[in-house]
Structure 1
Amino acid sequence: MDYKRITRINDPLFFKMHELMKNVFPKEEVLDYELWKGPLEDPSIRVFVAVHENEVVGATEYRYYQDWNIAMTDFTIIGQPGLSIGRFLAQNRSKDLQELAQANGKELFGMFAEIYDPYKVAHYEFGTVKPMDPFVRREVLSHLGYKRIDLDYVHPSWNNDGEAVKGLDLCFMPNDENVHELPSQLVADFLTTYYTVLPNKPSEWLEMVNGLKEKETVDLFPL
């Protein structure tokens, strides 16, 4: 299996990746094909696919924020069982991020991720690939070391229609597992920067971010 970066929209592997995304994620979670041109060309956004026998069987997108020495996992896709795709992606992503942090003269502090909470939502419109089941993914991410941020979390819909998307937790995987809280300002600054691309913010999201700014720290709980 090969770990290949995609940096242009006309890469044949990107078409395969986008089709895979549509097969496993709800519609409102998938950015339109044409809108990917900018993100793919952005050097701070790292999009990689797992290629097995010339087919895209997995993908991950993430980014490293040099000033904060943190990362964000945008998504991880496992296209089929039985190939250890999740482990392959996680190991290669971790290696890449550690190299970026080392080039910044630091050891990576940790990584954010939005994680579906199937205990709150009765049904998700996901594809039929069992490793992508929200219960499975949540437990795998817990095993990796992610912790739930104590926050009534919503995020803006990627349809950019101003709707609030619920049913997820914002989580953080600290490099030091003894870290049990984060500076609230870090979380607020990260979310503000991360969602700059979506100008239509729902009122619930604005209230959530403003609430973070009024606190000193926010707790990390078991996932």
Structure 2
Amino acid sequence: MDYIRITSIQQPLFPLMHRLMQEVFPPEEVLEYSLWEEPIQDPDIHVYVAVHEGEVVGATEYRYYADFRTAMTDFTIIGKPGLGIGRFLLKNRERDIKRLASAAGNEPIGMFAEIYDPYQVEHSFGGVTPMNPYVRREVLSHIGYKRIDMAYVHPSWDHQGQAVSGLDLCFLPADENLEELPASLVYDFLDRYYSALPNKPQDWLTMMAELKSKQSVALKPL
């Protein structure tokens, strides 16, 4: 299996990856094809696909914020069972984030991720078994992710300005005994991460205002 970076929508592997995203994610979570052209060229946005026998069978996108000393996993897709795709993506992403942190001259304190909560909203993820939200949630808990104790919504990626719910904002701390995060870190991260979306729903603005009023937020079991 090969781990290949996508930096242009002109690359032959990009439409295969985008099609895979459309198959497993709900429409409001998938950026329209042409709108990828600019962000995918951003050197700070790392989009990689897992290629097996010429087929895109998995993908992940992540970034490292050196000033926050935190990473963010935008998405992880496991397209087929029985190939070890999840482990393959995890280890390659870990190595790359370590490299990025080293280049920045620091050590990461952890990684954010939005994780579906199937107890709130059920998604079929295209019927792909490894993407089952109950399975994914338990696997990510095993890895060490913790739920940030806040009611969470985010602006829709279809640029319609809708509030997307049914997810938890989570954090994978480098120190597994960490029990809270500064609320300012979470606020600043979300403010920067969603700066690319101009249409913010009122629910998101209210959430951010509440977050700004706090000193810290607890990390709870996932």
In the alignment, what sits opposite 1:33?
33
**Distance in 1 between residues matched to 2:114 and 2:85, nearest whole Å:** 20
Distance in 2 between the 1:57 and 1:126 partners?
14
TM normalised by structure 1 equals 0.98
How far apart in 2 are the matches of 1:183 and 1:41? 31
Give the aligned residue type for 1:76: T
Tell me the distance in 2 between the aligned counterparts of 1:163 and 1:8.
28
Equivalent-residue separation in structure 1 for 2:41 and 2:105 (angstroms): 25
Separation of aligned partners in 1, 2:57 and 2:125: 16
Superposed counterparts of 1:142-161, under 5 Å: 142-161=141-160
- Which residue number in structure 1 is paired with residue 118 of structure 2? 118
Match in the other structure for 1:58: 58
Residue of structure 1 equivalent to 2:164: 165
Contact 2:124/2:132 (CA < 8 Å) preserved in 1? no
Cα distance in 2 for partners of 1:136, 1:39 equals 30
The residue number in structure 2 matching 1:96 is: 96
CA distance in 2, matches of 1:161, 1:105: 39
Q: Count how many residue pairs are aligned between Structure 1 and Structure 2.
A: 222
Tell me, in whole angstroms, the C-alpha distance in 2 between the residues paired with 1:204 and 1:40: 28
**C-alpha displacement at 1:108, in angstroms?**
1.3
Runs of 4+ in 1 over 3 A off after TM superposition: none
In the alignment, which residue of structure 2 is the partner of 1:3? 3
Q: Displacement, 1:125?
A: 4.4
Structure 1 position 102, deviation (Å): 1.2
Which residue of the partner structure matches residue 181 of structure 1? Answer: 180
Alignment partners' CA distance in 2, 1:66 and 1:49: 24
Matched, 1:79 2:84: no
Distance in 1, matches of 2:151 and 2:55, equals 39
Residue 19 of structure 1 corresponds to: 19
RMSD in angstroms over aligned alpha carbons?
0.7
Flag the 1:82–1:125 CA change in 2: closer, same or farther, 3 A: closer
CA contact (8 A) 2:66 2:106 kept: no
- The aligned residue for residue 222 of structure 1 is 221
TM-score, normalised with respect to structure 2: 0.98
Q: Which residue of 2 aligns with 1:43?
A: 43
Partners of 1:126 and 1:59 in 2: CA distance: 14
Task: Report if aligned partners of 2:49, 2:59 keep a CA contact under 8 Å in 1.
Answer: yes
Q: Which amino acid aligns with 1:133?
A: N
Question: Aligned to 1:127, what secondary structure does the other structure show?
Answer: helix
SS at the partner of 2:161?
A: coil
Letter in 1 for 2:150: L
CA distance in 1, matches of 2:125, 2:50: 20
> What are structure 1's unaligned runs of at least 5 residues?
none
SS in 2 for 1:124: coil
Q: How far off is 1:126 after superposition?
A: 2.0
